[in-house]
Amino acid sequence: MPAAKEGDRVNFPSYPHEVLAVVLSVRDGRLCVLLWKRARSPHRDRWALPGGGVESTERFRDAITGHLAAKVDVRDVAHLEQLATHSRVDRDPRTRVVATGYLGLVPSDVQPDLPSDTAWHPVEDLPRTAFDHHYFIDAATGRLRAKLSYTNIGFALAPLEFTIAELRDLFGAALGYQPGATNLTRVLTRRHVIDPTDRRASSGQSGGRPATVYKFVTRELTVTDPFAVLRPPR
């Protein structure tokens, strides 16, 4: 077959491409994903990831932020990154649809005003999801857990200020195990991920010395130790 010359028209295959958002957040001490209930077939009444089609003149990132705002009224995503693309020809029974997933993180203290057909679901106790959306959820959970080891991505799960006990609970919910508070403090301060503020938390009913309040040094994703791996305490 002769090579195409400059200016020749190339006939690329044409089929829909959609973007899907795996929005994770710690809610009531559990890592949760945001899902909405489908109102139409196929997979009517199943829970699905928010998302939709991509316009021919639209960037994927712009498309997914637009769908999040329009469909589930979520605008306070602290971190968003491209996750994976699935192109299995039978993933949608109607026609071939290629899907690109995004990982989004919402801080635990942010309370989006969700529509009635949208809810947070614990990733360890998911309902039956539409299409192949569970693959994207598994990939997003794995990505987050890995990046908690070697980046500062915890900033996107945490409030602006927090105690070490509060941060430990957030890490524990995301990782699936509770890291040691002393070790977590040492690791994050040594890597200059968090800094103490001049504030202290109220002691509460239990009394005792008020805990130091911390904050993340930056709220932009940074690789802090490319070889680090967090492990459960022995």
Q: CATH 3.90.79.10 spans which residues of the chain?
A: 17-148
Which band of pLDDT confidence, cut at 50, 70 and 90, is reported for residue 204? low
Residue 4 has pLDDT above 60, yes or no: no
pLDDT in tens, 44-82: 999 999 999 999 999 999 999 999 999 888 999 999 999
pLDDT in tens, 103-130: 999 999 999 999 999 999 999 999 999 9
CA nearest neighbour of 106 among 163, 23, 175, 168: 23
pLDDT more than 90, % of the chain: 79
| Amino acid making up residue 135 | Y
pLDDT in tens, 93-106: 899 999 999 999 99
Return the pLDDT at 9: 67
Name 98's bridge partners. 17
Which band of pLDDT confidence, cut at 50, 70 and 90, is reported for residue 2? low
- Tell me how crowded residue 199 is: count the other CB atoms within 10 A of its CB: 12
Domain 159-216 has CATH 3.10.310.30: no
Return the pLDDT at 61: 97
Return the pLDDT at 6: 63
| Measured distance CA(234)–CA(229) in Å, rounded | 14
Residue 197 has pLDDT above 90, yes or no: yes
Residue 5 has pLDDT above 90, yes or no: no
Q: CATH 1.10.10.10 spans which residues of the chain?
A: 159-216
3-state secondary structure the chain: CCCCCCCCCCCCCCCCEEEEEEEEEEECCEEEEEEEECCCCCCCCCEECCEEECCCCCCHHHHHHHHHHHHCCCCCCCEEEEEEEECCCCCCCCCCCEEEEEEEECCCCCCCCCCCCEEEEECCCCCCECCCHHHHHHHHHHHHHHHHHHECHHHHCCCCCEEHHHHHHHHHHHHCCCCCHHHHHHHHHHCCCEEEEEEECCCCCCCCCCCEEEEECCCCCCECCCCCCCCCCC
Identify the CATH assignment for 17-148 out of 3.30.565.10, 3.90.79.10, 3.40.50.300, 3.40.50.2300.
3.90.79.10
Residue 233 has pLDDT above 90, yes or no: no
